[in-house]
């Protein structure tokens, strides 16, 4: 309870959430773009495709030593780990989702005069949205895991570090409290964002009873 009273827990949550949001937003934007490039360009697919599939099987924590070597014990190191953990699964899911867009929709849009980026943003990405959304959800859990792993390892001021502190001082209550907080963070994302998007997809596509 001391952690709550002194505001340590609140500060740790704030620090972690801000980190998570920055790294995750970056991962979503670039993960989706990378995924679309993979699906739409044979050149991209055959050059970096196998590499991306391979890299996405590396547990994100394995990137931390490299990140620390490159960026030192800094914010950049943690962000690198988050992005490497979240971006690749999002890209792989987006690739799959874009490939499954009914070709008829794209052809229809082309006969109406859509081409290039316009076609991409007004038809291809919206049509792939349900698949991209499941990739984004996956990305969120990956981002959260990477963040905790990254924070555990050095003085970062986030939840992960507080968890480590709890272990050091033998404070089981603190450790459990942080685990509960992490669960709550996962649920919050569902409640604030993904749940709503899911319902919207269900309403529009008619895939679930809204």
Partner 1 sequence: MSIFAKAAHSIALGDEDAFSGPSRRRSRPGTSTSLQRVSFSFATEKGARLAIESADLHIEAGEFVCLVGPSGSGKSTILNLIAGLLAPTSGQVLENGKPIDGPGPARAMVFQDAALFPWLTLRDNVEYPLKLAGMSKGERRARGDELLRMVHLYRFADSFPHQLSGGMRQRGAIARALATDPAVLLMDEPFAALDAQTRELLQAEVERIFLETRKTVVFVTHNVREAVRLADRIVLMGTRPGRILRDVTIDLPRPRPLNDERVAWFAADVANEIRTEVDKIAKEEADDAWVAPGDRVRRDPRRNLGGGI
x/- track of binding to partner 1 for residues 159-178 (CB under 8 A):
--------------------
Say whether residue 196 binds partner 1 (CB under 8 A).
no
Name the one range near partner 1 by CB under 8 A: 2-10, 25-33, 110-118, 133-141: 110-118
As a whole number of angstroms, the distance between CA 196 and CA 208 comes to 13
Say whether residue 110 binds partner 1 (CB under 8 A).
yes
Say whether residue 208 binds partner 1 (CB under 8 A).
no
Q: Which residue has the tokens 């993960």?
A: 31
x/- track of binding to partner 1 for residues 117-146 (CB under 8 A):
-x---xx--xx-x-----------------
As a whole number of angstroms, the distance between CA 7 and CA 173 comes to 16
**φ, ψ dihedrals at 137, nearest 5°:** -65, -45
Q: What is the maximum span of the chain, computed from C-alpha positions, in angstroms?
A: 67
Report which of 160, 162, 158 is spatially closest to residue 174, judged by C-alpha positions. Answer: 162
Name the one range near partner 1 by CB under 8 A: 100-108, 133-141, 166-174, 182-190: 100-108
Q: Which is nearer to partner 1, 118 or 167 (CB)?
A: 118
With beta carbons less than 8 A apart as the criterion, state whether 68 and 105 touch. no
| Least distance between partner 1 and beta carbon 24 (Å) | 23
Q: Does the CA dihedral 42-43-47-51 come out positive or negative?
A: negative
Interaction site with partner 1 (CB under 8 A):
102, 104-105, 107-116, 118, 122-123, 126-127, 129, 203-206
């Amino acid at each position: 309870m001391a952690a709550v009273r002194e505001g340590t827990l609140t500060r740790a949550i704030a620090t972690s959430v801000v980190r998570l949001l920055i790294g995750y937003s970056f991962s979503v934007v670039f993960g989706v773009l990378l995924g679309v490039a993979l699906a739409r360009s044979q050149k991209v697919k055959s050059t970096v495709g196998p590499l991306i599939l391979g890299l996405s099987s590396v547990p994100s924590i394995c990137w931390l030593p490299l990140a620390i070597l490159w960026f030192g014990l800094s914010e950049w190191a943690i962000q690198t780990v988050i992005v490497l953990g979240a971006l690749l699964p999002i890209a792989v899911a987006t690739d799959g989702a874009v490939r499954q867009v009914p070709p008829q929709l794209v052809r229809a849009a082309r006969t109406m005069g859509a081409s290039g980026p316009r076609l991409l943003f007004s038809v291809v990405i919206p049509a792939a949205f349900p698949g991209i959304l499941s990739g984004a959800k996956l990305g969120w859990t990956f981002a959260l895991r990477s963040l905790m792993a990254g924070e555990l390892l050095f003085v970062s001021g986030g939840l992960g570090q507080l968890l480590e502190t709890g272990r050091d001082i033998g404070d089981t209550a603190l450790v459990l409290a942080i685990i509960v907080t992490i669960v709550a963070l996962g649920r919050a994302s569902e409640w604030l964002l993904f749940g709503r998007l899911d319902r919207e997809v269900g309403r529009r596509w008619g895939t679930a009873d809204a």
